[in-house]
Amino acid sequence: MCRLFGSLAAGEMDLRGHLVSSELSLLAQSSANRKRLQGHGWGIGHFSPAGRPLIFVSTRPVYKDKKGYAAQVGKASGNTVIAHIRRASNPRGLDMSAIIRPQNQQPFAYKSWLFAHNGTVRIPDQALKLAGRHKRLMKGNNDSEVYFRLLMNSIEKTGSVRQGVLQTVDLLWKAWKETPADIQKKQEVPYVGLNFLLGDGRRFWALCKYDGWKPKDDDNWLCHPKPPHPLFEMCYRLEDGGKGLAVASEATLPGGRWQPLRDGMLLEARLEDGLVQLELESIG
């Protein structure tokens, strides 16, 4: 599974620490577990002063592209940053050469939205049929992009991220009911993990949703074997007197008051008077 990091800040954030230099950084996580190497590329997104998403992606393993990765971290600016390192899912059973391509790397962008996902949509072809006009906007064959297109279509229809998430989950289960029995038997569930980070340059959302699913192998964070943490459980912390927020698949800096973002929780954050204002809600 992939690893995510996102931040919302009124001032400077220690992005280099979170993403590059600490022993828990996103870079450190990429090769911390040799059985779970994040070896299928990486990407970083932020916003221009005009509010336009800016994205750099690479198909190289981040642990083999440390200089290029660090250089892009240094260029990330603005109040919102989203970073993604990839361990690719492959529900269609495609050749890996078709999967490890620039158009399949995250984050993804649409208009003012920036998005990254950790998990797998196991029935991407069936789900994409329900994405409305966003079906035509698909650029690659990543099941995470199918989720992104479903979510964007749902947000546009409902007018809110919360309602968009709920509608997207409903659509995934609708697609599951319409999935042939042989595919259902093979895939077992419509999705494994709907965790995401989402920003529009003004606000920031993080969803942790995996419905209690556990992998067959070690169910734990990559850099935190003790005490154990469920692989899909996310975390967040406020920084610098509340002037910044970090959200990640697992803690990216030692210390600090990292708080769990548990299964079924939606976090929404915005900046007011130079401080991060947080709202947390259980959506099941």
Angle, helix 161-177 to helix 143-158, in steps of 10 degrees: 120
Q: What is the pLDDT of residue 218?
A: 82
Q: What is the pLDDT of residue 146?
A: 98
How many domains does the chain fold into?
1
Is residue 272 within 8 A of residue 248, CB to CB? The reply is no
Report whether pLDDT(3) > 90. Answer: yes
* ∠ Cα 9 147 253 (to 5°): 35
How far apart are the C-alpha atoms of 117 and 195, rounded to whole Å?
6
Say which range, 45-49, 65-69, 217-221, 272-276, has the weakest mean pLDDT. Answer: 217-221
Q: What is the pLDDT of residue 224?
A: 76
pLDDT in tens, 121-160: 999 999 999 999 999 999 999 999 999 999 999 999 999 9
How far apart are the C-alpha atoms of 34 and 32, rounded to whole Å?
6
CATH classification of the domain holding 142: 3.60.20.10
Q: Which are the contacts of 187, defined by CB distance < 8 A and separation ≥ 6?
A: 91, 122, 123, 179
Say which range, 18-22, 128-132, 143-147, 215-219, has the weakest mean pLDDT. Answer: 215-219
Report whether pLDDT(58) > 70. Answer: yes
236 bridge partner residues: 247, 259
Q: What is the pLDDT of residue 225?
A: 67
CA 98 to chain centre: 21
Q: Read off the pLDDT of each residue in 217-243 and give the average, rounded to a whole number.
A: 89
What is the extent of the structural domain holding 19?
Answer: 3-282
Report whether pLDDT(252) > 70. Answer: yes
Say which range, 21-30, 178-187, 218-227, has the weakest mean pLDDT. Answer: 218-227
Q: What is the pLDDT of residue 68?
A: 98
pLDDT in tens, 83-117: 999 999 999 999 999 999 999 999 999 999 999 99
